Structure 1
Amino acid sequence: MFRRNRAIAALLITLIGLSVPATAQTPATATPDTAYRQKGKWVGYVPSYQKYSQPKSDGVFRSSLPDVTSFLTRSTDRQVKAATAEEPLKESAELFEGALLDNEETGAQPRVLAVGFDEPTPALDPAVDAAPMYDPGADMYDSGAELIGDACSTGCGPCAASPAACCPPPRFYGTADYLLWWTDSMNAPPLVSTGILNQAGTSILFGGSGLEADAVSGGRFTLGMWLDPCQMQGVEASYFMLGTRTASFGASDADYAILGRPFYNTVQEQEDVRWIVSPGLVTGAVAVTASTKFDGGELLFRQAVQRECWAEIDLLVGYRWLQLEEGLLIEENTESVPAGTTYDLFDEFDTRNSFHGSEVGMAIRRQIGYCWSLELLAKAALGNVSSTVAIDGQTTITTTAPPGFTVNDEGLLTQYTNIGRYERDKLAAATELGVKLRRAFGNGIDLTIGYTFLYLSDVLRPGDQIDVAVDERQLSPESLREGVRYPQFSFRSDGFWAQGLSLGIEGRF
């Protein structure tokens, strides 16, 4: 028993003796388990792989942010201690992933420098402006205007602030355009000549083709309103008018030795002429005036189908009205030789065409520069054109013998067989094509220059309603007019176009 206790005591003394030298060893022989940190320094031995390693965060940068590594630069304004043998200077700092905290600026993340400091020290680059964030489902407008859901901001800068210049317009807009347009020439048969047609030496002085006229000025005015703050739906009303376009001709015995008004004689079945100037027979003068007046209007609903900074597409649907009023007046004054009887005569043909129809169309705008945009327009309308033709004529005969003068309600090409008022309704179509170049000047003011082509498929025009076939018995007393059928009236339709340039100004408010 004593011997066993003695062996146990010897073993305990041996173990105690071994533990005392271990605590006196230098840090170079200490075990890792005895190393610890105190006041920012290592106490005991720690391997270098452990001493210089740092924990990494599980956070990651948001994918919507730009690559922040492009913003990182080495800090040059930090004061660092000299590197020691145990802590060698590292050539580059390590970038550790980390998550942005609330209220933290978008920019470089902390990087750790181990250059002689007792502890890893974060070095931050200067803060940069927050990167633009994209909200899925939102349309971004330049200069900070953002459309989110049903709310649209108005933080748009001036045109020169950016190449896009895509700020949405205010709620209301209006335009005023100066128009310089040409209209389709009126056709008419030969109305004034130097003799009987188809004979040698005879020339047509007026008529026989389109009655040419100069361009005419006019105006076009538009007022529109967006129904929602995001400019997706709107209504607009517009009206245009052209001044009266006139083609005229006048001649007398002072201008021509022979002057006449040609017609086809149905009794003799050959070309004939009513003399205005003929030596030894009659002297006089003749004047012809053709006039055209064109105007119209629209009431449209606009529906946006595409809204982007550089392109817009709108569908149009609504009502179209067009009106074409024309007249052709032929006047003559002759005096017979030598009897002294005078004839004052006129033939008048007037037409009026009113189109009413439903219209659809498309408007496209494309940005082509900082403040320039190109607009294309196409519209088509289908509806009814109501046409009216009024034919009138009169001859006043003044003689030196009683009863002095006589008035007959007929002229040369207007007789009782065709004088009257005629109306009809017919299906017709109207088409409009346009292009416009726009220059924005800021403050809601734009200047525009454009071209427009407008076509109406079916109209009645004065020159087409003239029948040059005349029964010479019409010029006789009424008792001799039995069986007379000429001149006749029949509806003769044609198309009509108008086209020209525009120079305008648009304001948004």
Structure 2
Amino acid sequence: MKKNFRGMTLAALLLSASASAQADNNQYVPANDSPQAFVGDVASDAPVHVGSPFAAPVAPISDYAPVTVGDLQPAGFFDGGLKKAIGGCDSCDSPGCDGVGCDSMCGSKGGGGLAGLFNLCGKDGWMRAEAMLMFHAERQAPPLVTSAAPGVFPVLPAATVEFGDDLDGGLSGGIRTDVGRYLTDSFGIGGRTLWLSENGDDYSASGDQTDATSRSLGRPYYFVPRFNPGTAQEDSVIISQQNLFSGNVQAEYATDLFMADGYARMTFCHNKSSRLEFIAGYTYAELDDMISISSFRRDEDAGRNPNLAATAFSSLFETENRFNGGQLGFESMVARGRWTARALTKVHLGNMEQTVRKVGTTTDFLLNAPVSTQNSSILINDEQGTQTQDVFTFIPEMDFTIGYRFRDHVSFTVGYTFLYFDNVAMAGDQINRNRDTGNIGANVTPVAYDIVEGSHWVQGVSLGASIDY
């Protein structure tokens, strides 16, 4: 009799546990075609089951469906919410939670997988990497190399500009990264970097006066006589021309860009499919520009200057722009199914340190005397050396990105980026082509000069991947 009583008691407890677990999961099993019957519902005047702080209304006993021991489930809910999620997710509404916990990127126990390596499981984090394909604005510079028909003096405006004017470096590659996490539901921090490879081009040409078909080459400048400026006119230093000189010229230009910023983001408003955030932080940027040109000519008329065999001219114009300041902006996000669209607009405000360096040399190779070198060149006279100044500037930025989620929290992205740099020193703007012929190749005393300010922009597309938790 005791054994039968104990067996009945154990069966009753097991059935009660199974019914409580099923009710807590809000799963109902209709019995006798009753749509209101919930397995394991407890009457309001009955003892409350373990783990629940309230008593719920129940269906009549006659409506219960048969329950077996195999229907048992762990009771892991509290007040209808997820009490414990596999992988460390706090609730089913948390990013990275797929209904039973974090997705496979986090691993099954909350500590493994790719996200676990970065301690992002159970938190709102993001990692983004994009390949950048960018175009720089054309750099402006005066005509630096000209050419003309064989035996013709290579002087403007009749001559052809071979190097100078608009300098277009074409497409430049780079990479952008963005990593961060939300510390609360509405506040997060992050860091971003942007690097673009060198954007530029080079040029070289040579001429031999012994070849009747060889074109003439020159280094143009604007001749302004010191004592009679009213007679100013175009002129050129000959590098190669029949019966005068044989020579060559090499030139190049390059622009480099790097940016890094740390920021905080605060949510203005959001719902399940959209989000609007305010962004503020610190930005550092480097924009460097350079133009160099060198030429060598050999005198083919020994009777004109018996002691002078050859001359080399070299000119270098370098600029560095270092930005330190803050940033303010907004980012909006809209999601539709697997598609996500983001729009980031912000402006960087702060100090731009501009540094300009001008270096010029003229070297004479003499037949019966040591080599002679002077500290000026065709385009660099007494205004040479290094100058620095600080100016207040701004850098507007716009980014538009579309992403497609091909698996949970992992997306491919494509976007467009535009950056505008105001109040920067570019190398071509620092070239003064007004010269007095008598000063070319002479030793001079360097004097201070004014930095010429300009602007520059960069735009292009991005292709990348995004991981969000």
> Do the structures match in fold with TM over 0.5?
yes
| Deviation digits for residues 119-150 of structure 1 (CA, Å, limit 9, x no counterpart) | xx9778999xxxxx999xxxxxxx994459xx
Tell me, in whole angstroms, the C-alpha distance in 1 between the residues paired with 2:452 and 2:177: 33
| Deviation digits for residues 167-202 of structure 1 (CA, Å, limit 9, x no counterpart) | x97344322221111112210011111221123xx2
Query: CA contact under 8 A between 1:233 and 1:302: conserved in structure 2?
Result: yes
Query: CA contact under 8 A between 1:72 and 1:108: conserved in structure 2?
Result: no
Distance change in 2, residues 1:169/1:419 (3 Å): farther
Q: Tell me whether 1:507 sits opposite 2:449 in the alignment.
A: no
Q: Please name the residue that 1:404 is paired with.
A: 370
Q: Tell me whether 1:249 sits opposite 2:203 in the alignment.
A: yes
| Deviation digits for residues 28-66 of structure 1 (CA, Å, limit 9, x no counterpart) | xxxxxxxxxxxxxxxxxxxxxxxxxxxxxxxxxxxxxxx
Q: Please name the residue that 2:413 is paired with.
A: 448
Q: Please name the residue that 1:413 is paired with.
A: 379
Matches within 5 A, 1:172-191: 172-191=125-144
Q: Please name the residue that 2:279 is paired with.
A: 316
Query: CA contact under 8 A between 1:357 and 1:384: conserved in structure 2?
Result: yes
| Deviation digits for residues 440-496 of structure 1 (CA, Å, limit 9, x no counterpart) | 243543322211111111101010110000011213755xx89x99xx943221111
Q: Please name the residue that 2:300 is paired with.
A: 337
Aligned residues: 381
Q: Please name the residue that 1:287 is paired with.
A: 250
Matches within 5 A, 1:204-353: 204-208=161-165, 210-228=166-184, 230=185, 232-253=186-207, 256-267=214-225, 268-339=231-302, 341-353=309-321
Distance change in 2, residues 1:447/1:170 (3 Å): farther
Match for 1:327: what amino acid? M
Distance change in 2, residues 1:147/1:367 (3 Å): closer
Alignment counterpart, residue 433 of structure 2, candidates 454, 468, 490: 468
Q: Please name the residue that 2:111 is paired with.
A: none
Shift of 1:109: 6.4
% identical equivalent positions:
22
Shift of 1:266: 0.6
Q: Please name the residue that 1:197 is paired with.
A: 156
Query: CA contact under 8 A between 1:293 and 1:326: conserved in structure 2?
Result: yes
The two structures, once aligned, show a CA RMSD in angstroms of 4.0
Q: Give the ranges of 4+ consecutive aligned residues of structure 1 lying more than 6 Å apart after TM superposition.
A: 71-74, 102-110, 121-127
Shift of 1:366: 0.6
Distance change in 2, residues 1:471/1:196 (3 Å): same
Shift of 1:500: 1.3
Query: CA contact under 8 A between 2:402 and 2:415: conserved in structure 1?
Result: yes
Tell me, in whole angstroms, the C-alpha distance in 2 between the residues paired with 1:106 and 1:437: 47
Tell me, in whole angstroms, the C-alpha distance in 2 between the residues paired with 1:216 and 1:413: 29
Q: In structure 1, the residue corresponding to 2:407 is in which secondary structure?
A: coil
Matches within 5 A, 1:18-57: none
Tell me, in whole angstroms, the C-alpha distance in 2 between the residues paired with 1:169 and 1:451: 31
Query: CA contact under 8 A between 2:378 and 2:441: conserved in structure 1?
Result: no
Distance change in 2, residues 1:265/1:439 (3 Å): same
Query: CA contact under 8 A between 1:108 and 1:125: conserved in structure 2?
Result: no
Q: In structure 1, the residue corresponding to 2:346 is in which secondary structure?
A: strand
Match for 1:176: what amino acid? A
TM-score by length of 2: 0.71
Query: CA contact under 8 A between 1:367 and 1:374: conserved in structure 2?
Result: yes
Tell me, in whole angstroms, the C-alpha distance in 2 between the residues paired with 1:179 and 1:394: 39
Tell me, in whole angstroms, the C-alpha distance in 1 between the residues paired with 2:326 and 2:216: 53
* Uncovered stretches (5+) of structure 2, i.e. residues with no partner: 1-28, 35-41, 68-78, 82-88, 105-120, 148-153, 226-230, 303-307
Distance change in 2, residues 1:256/1:192 (3 Å): farther
| Deviation digits for residues 216-246 of structure 1 (CA, Å, limit 9, x no counterpart) | 1111122213223x3x211111111111111
| Residues 343-352 or 496-505, more deviating | 496-505
Q: Please name the residue that 2:422 is paired with.
A: 457
Shift of 1:289: 0.3
Tell me, in whole angstroms, the C-alpha distance in 1 between the residues paired with 2:399 and 2:99: 30
Shift of 1:349: 0.4
Q: From the two aligned structures, give the one with the greater strand fraction.
A: 2
Shift of 1:284: 0.6
Tell me, in whole angstroms, the C-alpha distance in 2 between the residues paired with 1:337 and 1:147: 84
Match for 2:256: what amino acid? K
Tell me, in whole angstroms, the C-alpha distance in 2 between the residues paired with 1:504 and 1:323: 23
Match for 1:193: what amino acid? T
Q: In structure 2, the residue corresponding to 1:218 is in which secondary structure?
A: strand
Tell me, in whole angstroms, the C-alpha distance in 2 between the residues paired with 1:196 and 1:366: 59
Q: Which has the larger radius of gyration?
A: 1
Q: Please name the residue that 1:497 is paired with.
A: 457
Tell me, in whole angstroms, the C-alpha distance in 2 between the residues paired with 1:234 and 1:180: 29
Match for 2:161: what amino acid? I
* Uncovered stretches (5+) of structure 1, i.e. residues with no partner: 1-70, 77-98, 111-120, 128-132, 136-142, 160-167
Query: CA contact under 8 A between 2:321 and 2:354: conserved in structure 1?
Result: yes
Query: CA contact under 8 A between 1:465 and 1:489: conserved in structure 2?
Result: no
Query: CA contact under 8 A between 1:259 and 1:275: conserved in structure 2?
Result: yes
Tell me, in whole angstroms, the C-alpha distance in 1 between the residues paired with 2:441 and 2:288: 34
Q: In structure 2, the residue corresponding to 1:464 is in which secondary structure?
A: helix
Tell me, in whole angstroms, the C-alpha distance in 1 between the residues paired with 2:91 and 2:294: 67
Tell me, in whole angstroms, the C-alpha distance in 2 between the residues paired with 1:432 and 1:169: 32
Query: CA contact under 8 A between 2:376 and 2:441: conserved in structure 1?
Result: no
Q: Please name the residue that 2:21 is paired with.
A: none
Query: CA contact under 8 A between 2:249 and 2:296: conserved in structure 1?
Result: yes
Shift of 1:380: 0.9
Shift of 1:206: 1.7
Q: Please name the residue that 1:170 is paired with.
A: 123
Distance change in 2, residues 1:345/1:477 (3 Å): closer
